[in-house]
Amino acid sequence: MFCIDNTNIFIIIKVIANIRELMKQKSPRLTGYHQNKNAVRPEDVKTNAVIQLRCRSRDKEKWQDIATAKGLSLSAWIIEILNNADN
């Protein structure tokens, strides 16, 4: 059984005060630590459009493996392939 005396009340008050203090401090995630890095890129480098496509999962897996082998993300690999399509 938990008995509340002056010592326990003091401890509870200190814990509540510490929790309130911690809640005032914003975590890096909430303060923009992981900000939109696209916003700081030069205009000619920023990506500002989206392409969506439906494909078979086995094709996507194959493309992902190729991109990973080249050290690229799937998106970067697709962009590289499409930009070099006219060469």
pLDDT tens sequence across 69-84:
999 999 999 999 999 9
pLDDT value of residue 35? 58
Percentage helix, strand, coil, to 5, in the chain?
55, 0, 45
pLDDT value of residue 9? 79
**Is residue 1 a part of any domain in this protein?**
no
* Position with higher pLDDT, 67 vs 11: 67
Give the domain extent around 73: 6-34+48-83
**Is residue 15 a part of any domain in this protein?**
yes
**Is residue 43 a part of any domain in this protein?**
no
pLDDT tens, position by position, 7-47 = 777 788 888 888 888 777 766 555 555 556 656 777 777 78
**Is residue 42 a part of any domain in this protein?**
no
In angstroms, the Cα distances linking 49 to 46, 52, 57 are: 9, 10, 23
Per the structure, the count of domains in the chain is 1
pLDDT value of residue 17? 83
